[in-house]
Amino acid sequence: MRDVAARAGVSAKTVSRVFNDDPHVLPETRAKIEQIMRELNYVPNVLATTFRSGKTSAIGVAVPDIVDPYFAAIARAVDDVARKRGVATLLTNLGDDPARERDVLESLLSRRLAGLIVAPIGVDHSWLKRWTESTPVVFVDRSPTGLPADIFTDNDEAGGHQATSHLIGHGHKRIAYVGDSFHLSTEVNRLAGYRRALTEAGLGFDEALVASYVKDRDSTRAAVERLMALPGRPTAVFSSNARSSMLLLRALPEASVAVVGFGDFPLADLLRPALTVVDQDPDQIGLLAAGRVFERADFPKRRLKRTNVLDVTLIERESCKVARP
Amino acid sequence: MRDVAARAGVSAKTVSRVFNDDPHVLPETRAKIEQIMRELNYVPNVLATTFRSGKTSAIGVAVPDIVDPYFAAIARAVDDVARKRGVATLLTNLGDDPARERDVLESLLSRRLAGLIVAPIGVDHSWLKRWTESTPVVFVDRSPTGLPADIFTDNDEAGGHQATSHLIGHGHKRIAYVGDSFHLSTEVNRLAGYRRALTEAGLGFDEALVASYVKDRDSTRAAVERLMALPGRPTAVFSSNARSSMLLLRALPEASVAVVGFGDFPLADLLRPALTVVDQDPDQIGLLAAGRVFERADFPKRRLKRTNVLDVTLIERESCKVARP
DNA sequence: TTGTAGGCGTTATCAG
DNA sequence: CTGATAACGCCTACAA
């Protein structure tokens, strides 16, 4: 900037004004400076600007796993919204270690972002309080713990209920539940919905039918073997998330049990049998969360509903129809 | 920091020293300061540090589309490497407008990252030159244009040749090529491989068999209809990328033509027929690219091979066997 | 319309 | 081993 100012025979402040579209600059002065900026290939130091002003024109997104199409879709939806406002989106992977969540998030927050959207993996977010005083933080998919904050999530309980009821409607009486970890609000709620559906149908809840650590090929295989060897062998399975569904389809003996999954994913409809799913709307969640971040930033005092639950819908395909009991 | 220094009765510099593990601090002074830092919940301002030092402990990754599992895998692999070194990864979506590529990348670079990994969408990267003087930039998947730079890419030509030869081996003589845009080096090379295989087999290259704008449902449908109505109707298709493959499988009349795709994707093996693919190794690319960034950062003078081409391998499944001519 | 002074939080330098 | 001072590049406030 110094060089530009020197070459143009003006002060640094005037150069700064040109960049910030300050109207109080003579057109000719402006033209000259712009010319020299191009020549010198000058790009203002965003860092210095941010440092000085305390805010960057970027929002952060943190998700457990960027490879998961659900989170990728949320991230892209956020990016679309931010892009329209000329704001950059910085995405980061949380990984699978809850203990590192704080480090990763603070590394983002310390860049003085204009906002942060997070699908958490941790079990305590009270430490986030001091950050929320200066940066709007919006949760997606999973609720925060120990912190009041904006959250956009799916109606997991209703979805679990819908999926299970649908299988019951197809005549199944022994329905297994397959999921991964239980420290997430989503899983807890989906299991609750599953349980309620069973109870309402007078089927009763059997703990043996719950397989809760389906995370990779081995654990999936083990879970399937255990379930299939059960005295009252299940004729149907409710898979509580897309990752588990994909693993399950690989491990299940072909067309041996009916399946309904929570969460649609690419190609689910091209499988044989095509997978019946409870469809979430990650694009919508990303859209709303990004909108909320900007709304909080623009109108800090506005009172808004913190908890926002989106409806889910069942997409009936074929996998719920196989193996009628 | 000021508060901490005041409370500890030392200067700011000493506090700074404690943070930077400077050995020239009395253990008791250090203990006292650490104590007070905890009490005050002091977190150093990364921005100020970066601003001052000119380098952040973060690397950037920019990809065309984060929803594409290939790019998501690269990003996660990079993150894994960076995480082990205690470096954060900032990911960003380039989108589909080549004109915006520069803005997005400069917004990343101006944060003074320790390095940048980019799968470009643009057609000119000469402007990046001034940045590469201060920041290691490594390309992945697609080559840069107008700029010498590190690049890790698949052997696209060999892959195209392999896929096409494989179909020829199954007796096909009319093999279509389906891809998306042609301004990418990857597509150009895959087409070249396709062409070479045809020529080597004495089959000749027929421009009518090339469908180059398969980007969404409509364009895919149109392309398939055109190809199927051709006088010499193709009995096989080489799809030059995973996105096109997924679209194609949806649009193709069931089991009507043999297919080999470039790029594996989740569930490709569970489809009926299971898709035969040329397998890339995005994890490996991410790993190598991240390694190179750090190597360039640590040893600026070391001479390294710029262009790095990774081998691809054909995974034979079923889709290449249907519709034998 | 343009310029000057001061400071954002940290660290390098050099002195004590 | 510790401290004072200056500087990183920019912007706000104020002055000319």
Residue pLDDT tens, chain B, 325 long: 888 888 888 988 999 999 888 888 898 899 988 898 888 888 888 899 999 988 888 999 999 999 999 999 999 999 999 999 999 999 999 999 999 999 999 989 988 999 999 999 998 999 999 899 889 999 999 999 999 999 999 999 999 999 999 999 999 999 999 998 888 899 999 999 999 999 999 999 999 999 998 889 999 999 999 999 999 999 999 999 999 999 999 999 888 899 999 999 999 999 999 999 999 999 999 999 999 999 999 998 899 999 999 999 999 999 999 877 7
| pLDDT-derived band at A8, boundaries 50, 70, 90 | confident
pLDDT at position B2: 84
Report if CB A299 to strand C is under 7 Å: no
DSSP structure class, residue B100: G
**Pick from B65, B106, B267: which is nearest to A43 by CB?**
B106
Residue B143 CA, distance from chain mean position: 11
CATH number of the CATH domain containing B7:
1.10.260.40
CATH number of the CATH domain containing B61:
3.40.50.2300
Distance, CA of B224 to CA of B247 (rounded, Å): 10
B221 contact A CB<8A: no
A104 contact B CB<8A: yes
* Of the candidates A222, A131, A124, the residue with the CA atom closest to the CA atom of residue A178: A222
Check if the beta carbon of residue A108 is closer than 8 Å to that of residue A120: no
A46 contact B CB<8A: yes
- Nearest residue to D7, CA vs C1'? B52
B1 contact A CB<8A: no
Residue B223 falls within a domain, yes or no? yes
Across A83-109, average pLDDT: 93
CB spacing of B110 vs A41 below 8 angstroms? no
* Tokens read off for A20: 């910030």
* Tokens read off for A276: 């019946």
HSE-up of B312 (CA within 13 Å, CB side)?
Answer: 28
What is the phi/psi pair of residue B251, to 5°?
-90, -20
Q: What is the β-pairing status of strands A150-154 and A137-140?
A: parallel
CA distances to A19, B18, B252, B269, B278 from B318, rounded to whole Å, are 59, 62, 15, 9, 13
Nearest CA in chain A to B45: A110
**Pick from B45, B106, B267: which is nearest to A246 by CB?**
B267
pLDDT at position A181: 82
Report if CB B9 to strand D is under 7 Å: yes
What is the phi/psi pair of residue B232, to 5°?
-90, 80
Residues A149 and A161 in one domain: no
pLDDT at position B255: 80
Residue B123 falls within a domain, yes or no? yes
Determine the distance in angstroms separating the CA of A44 from the nearest CA of chain B, rounded to an integer: 8
Nearest CA in chain A to B103: A88
pLDDT at position A132: 93
Residue B50 falls within a domain, yes or no? no
**Pick from B51, B88, B107: which is nearest to A88 by CB?**
B107
Distance, CA of B120 to CA of B30 (rounded, Å): 47
Q: Which residues of chain B (114-143) touch nucleic strand C at CB < 7 A?
A: none
Residue B49 falls within a domain, yes or no? no
Residues A171 and A272 in one domain: yes
Residue B79 falls within a domain, yes or no? yes
Distance A14 CA to D14 C1' (A): 15
Which nt has its C1' nearest the CA of A2?
Answer: D9
Distance A21 CA to D9 C1' (A): 18
Residues A146 and A291 in one domain: yes
Q: Is A85 exposed, middle or buried (0-12, 13-18, 19+ CB in 10 A)?
A: exposed
CB spacing of B91 vs A95 below 8 angstroms? no
Residues A96 and A233 in one domain: no
Per-residue pLDDT tens digits for A236-290: 999 999 999 999 999 998 888 999 999 999 999 999 999 999 999 999 999 999 9
Report if CB A2 to strand D is under 7 Å: yes
Residue A179 falls within a domain, yes or no? yes
Q: Quote the domain boundaries for residue A296.
A: 55-154+282-310
Residue A49 falls within a domain, yes or no? no
Residues B148 and B291 in one domain: yes
A contacts of B110 (beta carbons < 8 Å): 43-47
Residues A193 and A125 in one domain: no
Q: What is the β-pairing status of strands A150-154 and A175-178?
A: unpaired
pLDDT at position A183: 83
Report if CB A66 to strand C is under 7 Å: no
CB spacing of A91 vs B88 below 8 angstroms? no
**Optimal mutation site among A38, A40, A89, A93, interface B, most CBs of chain B within 10 A:** A93
Check if the beta carbon of residue B322 is closer than 8 Å to that of residue B257: yes
Write down the pTM of the prediction. 0.94
Residue A50 falls within a domain, yes or no? no
pLDDT at position A27: 87
Report if CB A24 to strand D is under 7 Å: no
SS3 of B44-64: CCHHHHHHHHCCCCEEEEEEC
* Of the candidates A231, A230, A262, the residue with the CA atom closest to the CA atom of residue A245: A262
Residues B75 and B220 in one domain: no
**β-pair partners for B312:** none
How does DSSP assign A148-197, residue by residue?
A: --EEEEE-HHHHHHHHHHHHHHTT-S-EEEE-S-SSSHHHHHHHHHHHHH
Residues A199 and A144 in one domain: no
Is the pLDDT at A102 greater than 80? The verdict is yes
Report if CB B256 to strand C is under 7 Å: no
Residues A132 and A163 in one domain: no
CA distances to A286, A287, B181, B243 from A79, rounded to whole Å, are 8, 9, 23, 20
Instruction: Kindly state the percentage of chain A with pLDDT values over 90.
Output: 74
Residues B209 and B261 in one domain: yes
To 10 degrees, what angle do helices A185-200 and A156-169 make? 40
Distance A272 CA to C4 C1' (A): 74
HSE-up of B130 (CA within 13 Å, CB side)?
Answer: 10
Residues A181 and A94 in one domain: no
CB spacing of B47 vs A110 below 8 angstroms? yes
A49 contact B CB<8A: no
**Pick from B41, B47, B106: which is nearest to A50 by CB?**
B47
Handedness of CA A202, A206, A212, A217 (dihedral sign): negative
What is the phi/psi pair of residue B147, to 5°?
-160, 130
Based on the structure, what is the number of domains in chain A?
A: 3
Nearest CA in chain B to A268: B267
Distance, CA of A245 to CA of B236 (rounded, Å): 32
Per-residue pLDDT tens digits for A130-168: 899 889 999 999 999 999 999 999 999 999 999 999 999
B83 contact A CB<8A: yes
pLDDT at position A182: 82
Check if the beta carbon of residue A237 is closer than 8 Å to that of residue A248: yes
A contacts of B266 (beta carbons < 8 Å): 246, 266-267
| pLDDT-derived band at A324, boundaries 50, 70, 90 | confident
- Nearest residue to D3, CA vs C1'? B11
Residues B28 and B100 in one domain: no
